[in-house]
Amino acid sequence: METAAILIVEDDPIIAADLQDRLTESGYAVLGPVAAGEETLSFFHGGNLPDLVLMDIQLEGEWDGIETARRIREQHDVPLIFLTSNSDDKTFREAREAGPQAFLSKPFRGRDLRHAIELAIQQAARKENPVKKKAAEEENAYLMKDRLFIKAKGCMVRLFFKDILWVAADDYYCRVFTKEKEYLITQTLKKFGEELSGVPEIMRVHRSYLVNLAHVEAIGDLYLHIGKQRIPFSRSAKEELLARLKKI
């Protein structure tokens, strides 16, 4: 699991430096900053793509922030927050057409920035999961196409589904285990499992466990093994478990 990587697109060096400091202090990985819209597309080629973009509306170069957002959205549906010191109706209408998840007016406080980032990720997750009902305020996990974001220690951390080893029920919560860490999800295992039902590698094998089938190393009569962890599975799940393992 890694902290979310946020790309800063801001032509005012003082504001860009302030954003960089605030994000770093909050635990986020920072990409950029860049001052011109034309420079942003290079960050969307290669493996380390931004998880979110902070985009100033007024930029250096040929593209303003609105045009830059449109160009990015042609290829990547990444969560985006517009930064603006101009709140007139015309600018707002034009910016809204680019489909941002949030707006942040300058000057802003650190708390406003943290809330805007969380809101943007939450809104993007709902867009990708339209059947999901409005999340309760206490929920801390937001699912995207190939990853989820977990709110932990004041920032959003990223976890790809492929890195999940298993998930264990913990009363009204559940715990997600990776090779490096363990994270608490403020949802029941049943609800979390329902949200992951579209991920073929993730299967509920027991009333108290979900597992990532890609990490299963051995299967006995009553237990399967992931590393040193022994996980029980129900008799009713065994046939489906074996059938799905053959497809991985």
5-16 per-position pLDDT tens digit: 999 999 999 999
Q: Across the beta sheet with 223-226, what order do the strands follow?
A: 218-219, 223-226, 229-232
* Predicted local confidence at residue 59, as pLDDT: 92
pLDDT at 79 over 90: yes
User: Domain spans of the chain?
Assistant: 2-128, 164-245
| Residue 136: pLDDT over 50 | no
Q: What is the DSSP letter of 123?
A: H
Distance CA 81, CA 96 (A): 11
Superfamily of domain 2-128: Response regulator (3.40.50.2300)
Q: What is the pLDDT of residue 129?
A: 64
Q: Give exposure, 63-89, as e/b (b: 16+ Cβ within 10 Å).
A: bbbbbbbebbeeeeebbbbbbbeeeee
* pLDDT at 172 (0 to 100): 92
pLDDT one-digit tens code per residue, 14-25 = 999 999 999 999
Average pLDDT over residues 141-166: 90
Distance CA 187, CA 30 (A): 29
Closest CA to 221 of 233, 206, 205, 204: 233
Alpha helices in 102-213 (DSSP H): 110-128, 189-195
Q: Flag whether pLDDT at 179 surpasses 60.
A: yes
pLDDT at 87: 67
Could you tell me the maximum CA-CA distance found in the chain, to the nearest angstrom?
Answer: 67
In degrees and rounded to multiples of 5, residue 112 shows phi and psi of -60, -40
**pLDDT reading at 103 higher than 60:** yes
Assigned architecture for domain 164-245: Beta Barrel (2.40)
Long-range contacts of 86-90 (CB under 8 A, 24+ apart): 86/57, 86/58
Which string of DSSP letters, residue by residue, matches 73-96?
A: HTT----EEEEES---HHHHHHHH
Q: Of 61, 75, 131, 72, give the one whose Cα is nearest residue 100.
A: 72
Q: What is the mean pLDDT of residues 27-38?
A: 94
* Rounded distance between C-alpha atoms, residue 224 and residue 92, angstroms: 55
* Confidence at residue 246, expressed as pLDDT on a 0 to 100 scale: 79
Per the structure block, which two tokens stand in for 5? 């990587």
Structure confidence by residue, pLDDT tens digits, 45-78: 866 789 999 999 999 889 999 999 999 988 888 9
Tokens 């990776």 correspond to what residue? Answer: 178
Taking alpha carbons only, the member of 213, 212, 234 closest to residue 223 is: 234
pLDDT value, residue 49: 85
Rounded to a whole number of angstroms, the CA Rg of the chain reads 20
Q: What is the pLDDT of residue 90?
A: 82
- Residue 101's pLDDT is 92
Task: Note the residue count of the chain.
Answer: 248
Averaged pLDDT for residues 77-84: 92
CA distance 99 to 66: 10
Report how far apart the first and last C-alpha atoms of the chain are (Å, whole number).
Answer: 23
* pLDDT (0 to 100) of residue 132: 52
Quickly tell me which residue has 């499992």 as its tokens.
193
pLDDT, mean of residues 69-93: 87
**The one-letter amino acid at 90:** K
- Is the pLDDT at 237 greater than 60? The verdict is yes
